[in-house]
């Protein structure tokens, strides 16, 4: 798992994610016939962006490698 430790990389992740989500949503909006389906797809992409950030951002003082179980 890639861990983003520097603030500039975290900001870059958020900016690239938001811009790509907006671009994808603009592209798929005309293709989606029913409106509820568009909302499901857009919200799913947003949740994936959040999940990736939560798993990739390292907290202050958090070890890079998780502690061993033994």
Q: Which domain holds residue 32?
A: 7-56
Query: How far from the centroid of its chain's Cα atoms is residue 6's Cα?
Result: 17
Give first-to-last CA distance, the chain, whole Å. Answer: 21
Query: Is residue 61 included in any domain, yes or no?
Result: no
Query: Is residue 15 included in any domain, yes or no?
Result: yes
Residue where the block lists tokens 């958090």: 62
> Structure tokens of 51?
């999940």
| Predicted TM-score (pTM) of this structure | 0.67
Query: Is residue 62 included in any domain, yes or no?
Result: no
Residue where the block lists tokens 């909302």: 39
Question: Cα separations (Å) of 28 from 13, 15, 49, 64?
Answer: 22, 20, 17, 38
Q: Provide the domain count of the chain.
A: 1
- pLDDT 10s per residue in the chain (70 long)? 677 778 898 899 889 988 988 888 788 777 765 667 777 877 888 898 888 888 788 776 777 676 677 7
Query: Is residue 2 included in any domain, yes or no?
Result: no
Query: Is residue 64 included in any domain, yes or no?
Result: no
Query: Is residue 21 included in any domain, yes or no?
Result: yes
Rounded CA-CA distance 70/51 in Å is: 28
């Amino acid at each position: 798992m890639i861990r983003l430790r520097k603030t500039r990389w975290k900001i870059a992740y958020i900016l690239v994610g938001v811009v790509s989500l907006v671009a994808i949503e603009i592209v798929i909006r005309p293709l989606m016939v029913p409106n509820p389906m568009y909302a499901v797809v857009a919200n799913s992409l947003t949740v994936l962006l959040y999940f990736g950030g939560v798993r990739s951002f390292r907290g202050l003082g958090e070890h890079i490698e998780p502690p061993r179980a033994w």
